[in-house]
Structure 1
Amino acid sequence: MKPFLIAATAALVAVPASAVAPPSITGRWATDDGKAIVDIYACGAKLCGKVHKLLIAQPAGGQRDERNPDKAKRTRQVSGLQIYWDLAADGNSWKGQGYSPEDGRYYKAHLTARGGKMTMKGCVSVFCKTVTWTKMG
């Protein structure tokens, strides 16, 4: 029995820290600028995010993705728009791809949750912006 116990203990010690999942970021988040509510949810083995609701005044028919670099996508509604995809656990955070309909830019996303707050860092080339969102409910 002792060899089994030693092997089991060794296997637990051998698990790298990166194999431990970061805190979950699934749920509904209020953006720090008060403009939107974003849902983060499972999509396959990874996580995705979409605009649940805009909290700003919108034109008749709803806000459109007017600044999208792809002209064919400029008429789609921002409410319900997927803005995160391929978010995968990476150490104590989540990394993947993001899109900002506010400025029409795609970026590398890095999200970290702690308590009821989530820090989202988005980078285009070497230029980065960090915001903090608040968990709802």
Structure 2
Amino acid sequence: MRKLILALALATAAAPALAADPVEGLWMTQPDNNGNYGHVQFMPCDSGICGVLLNAFDSTGVERPSEHVNTSIVWAMQPQGNGTYENGRIFVPDMGRALNSKMALRGDQLGVSGCILGFCREQTWTRLR
């Protein structure tokens, strides 16, 4: 019995801990062309890493209604290593369309870009938690 317990303890200690992806958490978007911004929660999903818009705010910081709250606005992001993500899609509310997207994590800043026909739009998002 002691050997069994010791073997289980060693196996547990030797097993690598499952680490969360570094981008997981709550992020504040950069204000769009209208001054509106949001809080996006990143988490794993079936297609990679996804981000759900939790709250929307107007240019004065007052929470405002949005049809996009509680929906995925970032999806299918594929981790490439070194804090980079590619081959995803992002919905840009003030444009009303989804764009091809990639992201680059730099500490508590997240560079997010969306591109269509070679024209790209970039923002820097800030980690809230």
> What's the TM-score, normalizing by structure 2?
0.69
Within the candidate set 82, 87, 91, 2:72 is matched to 82
Q: 1:30-80 deviations in whole A, cap 9, x for unaligned?
A: 11216111111111361111111011253xxx32xxxxxxxxxxxxx2111
Q: Per-residue deviation at 1:94?
A: 0.7
Structure 1 residue runs of 5 or longer lacking an equivalent are: 1-22, 64-76
State the partner residue of 1:47.
49
Does residue 100 of structure 1 match 2:98?
Answer: no
State the partner residue of 2:103.
111
* Structure 2 SS opposite 1:78: coil
* Structure 1 SS opposite 2:95: coil
Give me the whole-angstrom Cα distance separating, in 2, the residues matched to 1:43 and 1:88. 11
> What's the TM-score, normalizing by structure 1?
0.66
**Aligned counterparts, 1:22-61, within 5 A:** 24-33=22-31, 35-44=37-46, 46-56=48-58, 58=64
* Structure 1 SS opposite 2:30: coil
Give me the whole-angstrom Cα distance separating, in 2, the residues matched to 1:38 and 1:135. 9
Identity of aligned residues (%): 24
Higher strand share: 2
State the partner residue of 1:125.
117
Q: CA RMSD in A?
A: 1.7
What is the number of residues matched between the two proteins? 99
